[in-house]
A = this chain, B = another copy of it.
């Protein structure tokens, strides 16, 4: 409402020279780049206002095009949400795959490395942006929640469970339930992240590295004296 913005294509010319009128085109055809730009814009606006309150107009404007143009690339608002989640899934899957491969040789070192990395990564607001969105809409779009779970969450849990089993085979881990072990690894990190990025907790004293260290200590050696 306040920021009318009113499409002024020539903001740079101080003098109102109408000489070089239409020096550059009003718009360009950029069919290849558009979809990604639109998804970027959608993610930003979704995270800012939530899915429902986000306006297609705002998303379009942020992507530098008109609302109508968005509909040339996506069927509608829902499709934006779906596209966003789908775009996120494969890179994450790749990352998990890479982690799993790393762990084959030395499960203990791999676990340490992964906890360190995950703790640091999830501290980053941008990386948690899509998961955050998924969490907030999952109740209303069950199939999207399920999609994300099977492709990301369960993959991650599965990868850790696999890592645990490998560690058991090599005698470095105790033989407990592998899924429970995976939850013990990921749960505390997830809880911290939700508390911070969703519930607005300021990061208390201590860096991510310190947190990871404490987590690993408890995870490996337990709480019992």
Q: Are A139's CB and B47's CB within 8 A?
A: yes
In this complex, how many residues of chain A approach chain B with their Cβ under 8 Å: the count is 61
- Which listed residue (B49, B136, B217) contacts A136, Cβ 8 A? B136
Complex Cα gap A161–B184 (Å):
17
* CB neighbors of B among A58-83 (8 A): none
Interface residues in A145-187 (C-beta closer than 8 Å to B): 145-146, 148-149, 153-154, 164, 167-168, 171-174, 176-177, 179-181, 183-184, 186-187
Listed by A's residue number, 21 A-B pairs whose Cβ atoms lie within 8 Å are: A47-B139, A49-B140, A135-B198, A136-B136, A138-B198, A145-B198, A146-B200, A154-B201, A164-B223, A173-B224, A174-B221, A180-B215, A181-B218, A183-B188, A183-B192, A184-B188, A184-B219, A186-B187, A186-B191, A220-B222, A220-B224
